């Protein structure tokens, strides 16, 4: 779905000209300690990621978290790094190229919230020949302030530096697009048919509960278990996606859980690794895991789930573990997303 009206309307530069900007979270330039530390500092000092006042946030991140986390994070990145570089950047570029091939009348570009190619640099290139319309596509299936919110905020700050303001459209969370569930469902079914799991675990990126409640609006003090699927509640959006995907799996038992939590504060639960190990201890021998929070495979899917969770499941008594790939540049996904964008 696309917003019915642009966020703002500027003067028309070239009638009919549209640029598409894919927004993803970002990745270090390399798994070196320097690049990983730089990436972590930029990421974690974002107030939409770590919601502390500026000075305590800077002191905590630069004085404590980055020095202690860099070595471990760099080792994790080295485990998934390819000869072509970062998996996230590789898959994101493949998606961009696939969309560009299907949308030759548009300029399709990729920008990262943290790292390169940066939003500022990509926008600078686009605005040398300003489009009449700019369509922002946050590559996040569900809305969260720490993903879609921060990407759009950075985009608007960068746009404000330019004299010309194109009409800005924002694609609604990708999980609202029919192509999302159809394409991801096809991938999960394909894995299930070849692997033969006894259980399917849908593992979503976790959030601090304070972020969930803040997005739900004033007065929200609990998770919106009975809210509509298109609500602002991140947890409700995730459970709705699990239900939509599970409905395509012919009765296979499934669970919904949350990964990637950080220390401190209350986070969305149950936690994915704990669910996986509990399933193994209760006799589940073959587990299939899908990560619907991620459009492109990255550190959180390939290392955290594909390696760490696999090891935990097998150590707890499981016999076989399979990670379903993300959408990446799956042909049906690229085609479906292109169809949603092509009328603009």
* Residue 146 and residue 48 in contact, taking contact as beta carbons nearer than 8 Å: yes
Mean predicted lDDT score pLDDT of the chain: 92
Task: Identify the CA nearest to 49 among candidates 158, 173, 211.
Answer: 211
pLDDT digits 0-9 by tens, 195-244: 999 999 999 999 999 899 888 765 454 556 555 555 678 999 999 999 99
pLDDT digits 0-9 by tens, 279-336: 999 999 999 999 999 999 999 999 999 999 999 999 999 999 999 999 999 999 999 9
Per-residue confidence (pLDDT) for residue 225, from 0 to 100:
52
Per-residue confidence (pLDDT) for residue 220, from 0 to 100:
55
**Please, which residues have CB within 8 angstroms of residue 56's CB and are 6 or more apart in sequence?**
none
Measured CA to CA in angstroms, residue 3 lies from 6, 80, 228, 341, 344 at distances of 7, 36, 19, 12, 11
The sheet carrying 199-205 orders its strands as: 254-259, 199-205, 286-290, 320-323
* Residue 31 and residue 39 in contact, taking contact as beta carbons nearer than 8 Å: no
* Residue 73 and residue 292 in contact, taking contact as beta carbons nearer than 8 Å: no
Per-residue confidence (pLDDT) for residue 222, from 0 to 100:
55
pLDDT digits 0-9 by tens, 1-20: 444 444 443 433 344 499 99
Task: Give buried/exposed letters for 320-335 (b at 16+ CB in 10 A, else e).
Answer: ebbbbbbbbbbeebbe
H/E/C letters for each residue in 85-124?
ECHHHHHHHHHHHHHHHHCCCEEEEEEEEECCCEHHHHHH
Per-residue confidence (pLDDT) for residue 12, from 0 to 100:
38
Per-residue confidence (pLDDT) for residue 223, from 0 to 100:
58
Per-residue confidence (pLDDT) for residue 13, from 0 to 100:
38
Mean pLDDT across 242-255: 95
Any idea which residue has 């998770």 for tokens? 223
Per-residue confidence (pLDDT) for residue 2, from 0 to 100:
46
Calculate helix-pair angle for 331-341, 87-102, nearest 10 degrees. 50
What DSSP line would sit under 262-302, residue for residue?
Answer: -SSS-B-SSBHHHHHHHHHHTT--EEEEE-TT-SS--HIII
Per-residue confidence (pLDDT) for residue 318, from 0 to 100:
98
pLDDT digits 0-9 by tens, 31-86: 999 999 999 999 999 999 998 999 999 999 999 999 999 999 999 999 999 999 99
Per-residue confidence (pLDDT) for residue 343, from 0 to 100:
84
pLDDT digits 0-9 by tens, 117-155: 999 999 999 999 999 999 999 999 999 999 999 999 999
Q: What is the pTM of this model?
A: 0.92
Share of the chain above pLDDT 70, in %: 91
């Amino acid at each position: 779905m696309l917003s019915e009206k642009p966020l703002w309307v500027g003067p028309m530069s070239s009638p009919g000209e549209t640029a598409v900007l894919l927004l993803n979270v970002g990745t270090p330039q390399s798994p070196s300690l320097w690049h990983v530390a730089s990436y972590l500092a930029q990421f974690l000092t974002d107030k939409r990621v770590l919601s502390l006042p500026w000075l305590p946030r800077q002191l905590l991140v630069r004085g404590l978290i980055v020095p202690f986390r860099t070595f471990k994070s760099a080792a994790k990145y080295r485990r998934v790094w390819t000869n072509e570089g970062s998996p996230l950047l590789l898959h994101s570029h493949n998606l961009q190229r696939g969309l560009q091939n299907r949308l030759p009348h548009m300029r399709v570009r990729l920008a990262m919230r943290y790292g390169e190619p940066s939003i500022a640099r990509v926008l600078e290139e686009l605005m040398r020949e300003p489009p009449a319309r700019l369509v922002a596509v946050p590559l996040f299936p569900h809305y969260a302030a720490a993903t879609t919110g921060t990407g759009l905020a950075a985009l608007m700050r960068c746009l404000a530096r330019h004299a010309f303001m194109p009409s800005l459209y924002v694609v609604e969370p990708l999980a609202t697009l029919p192509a999302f569930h159809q394409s991801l469902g096809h991938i999960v079914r394909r894995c299930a048919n070849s692997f033969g799991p006894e259980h399917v675990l849908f593992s979503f990126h976790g959030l601090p509960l304070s972020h969930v409640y803040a997005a739900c609006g004033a007065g929200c003090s609990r998770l919106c278990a009975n809210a509509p699927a298109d609500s602002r509640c991140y947890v409700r959006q995730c459970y709705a996606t699990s239900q939509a995907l599970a409905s395509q799996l012919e009765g296979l038992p499934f669970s919904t859980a949350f990964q990637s939590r950080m220390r401190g504060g209350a986070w969305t639960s149950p936690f994915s690794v704990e669910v996986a190990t509990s399933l193994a201890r209760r006799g589940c021998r073959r587990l299939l895991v899908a990560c619907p929070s991620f459009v492109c495979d990255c550190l959180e899917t390939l290392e955290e789930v594909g390696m760490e969770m696999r090891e935990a499941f097998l150590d707890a008594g499981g016999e076989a573990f399979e990670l379903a790939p993300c959408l990446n540049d799956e042909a049906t996904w690229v085609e479906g997303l292109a169809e949603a964008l092509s009328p603009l």
